[in-house]
A = this chain, B = another copy of it.
């Protein structure tokens, strides 16, 4: 529907490139008439549906059940948890009128649902037999953001928010950690986006949480994208909303809770991780169209035979579970079709012309880093599936290699400054003295934040050392980067 325009190269202007890729792949557009909001167009929404479907399967395998809670939350609910209201107050959209009358108590449009869900958990939970209670909600939320960027930060966004209640702190922490692992598995296995799992510092944690964990991914410009969070809420909301249960000794106790979420921000992460100067690149497991078949012919009499073969191969691939599209539009040249599907990020292009018919094969080309290859008709299902699998792995390996090449272990402040000079970003593993003051100082001086304290066993473990900024003692290296 839109006219084709140029994509700004990444090297020239990364932010423009990102917006250009979104526009040219027809994923979304800024709403403009509604501040900071966007319209998610069909191709963008189809990616989100793929993300939802897989995550939903993974949550259900953990015995999590979906439910739905009201969009509106009484203002007084937010005020019950002191840190929570302080954190979210500046970002609230407020409904003051309903049905033509001023409301007695204003409602906020949910920025997140710990409070309203806490209210219902207090009604539902009576004994330890009701625990754990594992709930997830797919919903829209609103946070009044000053600076927005499509998918990455919008006033309204779509997400899932998991909310669970447990009988012990150990149980709650183990569950929050299990979800963090699940997010990492999804990011790496489906999005082909390597992530670092870690603990957020106090100043970066969720307002109301005891501990926040996140997965952090490196975008192609070296900046970090916080891609999912999983919080140990302790008993903070349990106490604020009186969520109590009788333990097996008959005593009344407050529950221990977790909450965790990922959002349409993941689509932004997907775009920024893999796409190139020719447009969108999608990993096959999340591509709404995994393979496109383009018939090639010059004369009209060639057309029928070529298209018929294409249609037969399309049916075979569809029957084999491949999301395949036959682009038999007339009046559009093959080159224009290639260009369109390239920009839309289709992982695999299959071409068939009269000469291919004679040879009984299809010409195949992956979206990036590929030479043309040929697949005999009789092996089409297996070969296409294995090409898609290899392409999925290739994208992950490529992103991992980029991250490795841009991750530095530094001990000198001047090297730190050098790593982040001129608006650049990298992942820097450096020692930090553990104080909020030093963290704030570094942020003020360099715009660099501590993305997380990496969890052990990911290859980022370190000995104690001296803070890169103050020289004071540090327990372990933490992950520094500029971020979205």
Contact = CB atoms under 8 A, between A and B. Distances in A.
Interface in A35-66: 35, 37-42, 45-46, 48-49, 65-66
Interface residues of A, number: 59
A350 B120 CA distance: 34
A107 interface: yes
A96 B96 CA distance: 6
Nearest to A125: B1
A158 interface: yes
A99 B90 contact: yes
Nearest to A101: B144
A150 B332 CA distance: 52
Given A67-B41, A120-B39, A156-B70, A90 B94 contact: no
A93 interface: yes
In the complex, the count of this chain's copies comes to: 2
Interface stretch (A71-79, A207-215, A386-394): A71-79
A146 interface: yes
A96 B99 contact: no
A90 B95 contact: no
B67 A45 contact: yes
A97 B90 CA distance: 11
A100 B96 contact: no
Nearest to A48: B68
Contact of A93 (B37, B45, B69, B97): B97
Contact of A146 (B39, B99, B124, B156): B99
Given A34-B73, A95-B95, A158 B68 contact: yes
A313 interface: no
Interface in A143-184: 144, 146, 155-156, 158
Given A74-B33, A96-B96, A96-B97, A68 B45 contact: yes
A89 B100 contact: yes
Given A73-B34, A74-B34, A95-B95, A68 B90 contact: no
Contacts of A38: 70
A135 B92 CA distance: 30
A45 B68 CA distance: 7
Q: Which of A42, A46, A92, A155 is the most central at the interface, judged by chain B CB atoms within 10 Å of its CB? A: A42
A33 B144 contact: no
Contacts of A34: 70, 72-74, 107, 116
A98 interface: yes
Contact of A156 (B42, B45, B71): B71
Given A37-B72, A126-B1, A67 B42 contact: yes
B49 A66 contact: yes
A418 interface: no
B70 A31 contact: yes
Contacts of A96: 94-97
Contacts of A1: 124-126, 130
Interface string A90-134: 111111111110000011010000001001100011100010000
Interface string A23-35: 0000001010111
Given A42-B67, A93-B95, 20 more contacts: A1-B125, A31-B69, A33-B119, A34-B74, A40-B68, A42-B65, A46-B65, A46-B66, A48-B68, A49-B66, A70-B156, A71-B109, A72-B142, A92-B97, A93-B99, A95-B96, A98-B144, A98-B155, A99-B144, A109-B109
Interface of A: 1-2, 29, 31, 33-35, 37-42, 45-46, 48-49, 65-74, 77, 89-100, 106-107, 109, 116, 119-120, 124-126, 130, 135, 139-140, 142, 144, 146, 155-156, 158
Q: Which 10 A-B pairs have the closest CB atoms?
A: A99-B144, A42-B65, A40-B68, A37-B70, A94-B97, A34-B70, A1-B124, A98-B144, A96-B96, A93-B98
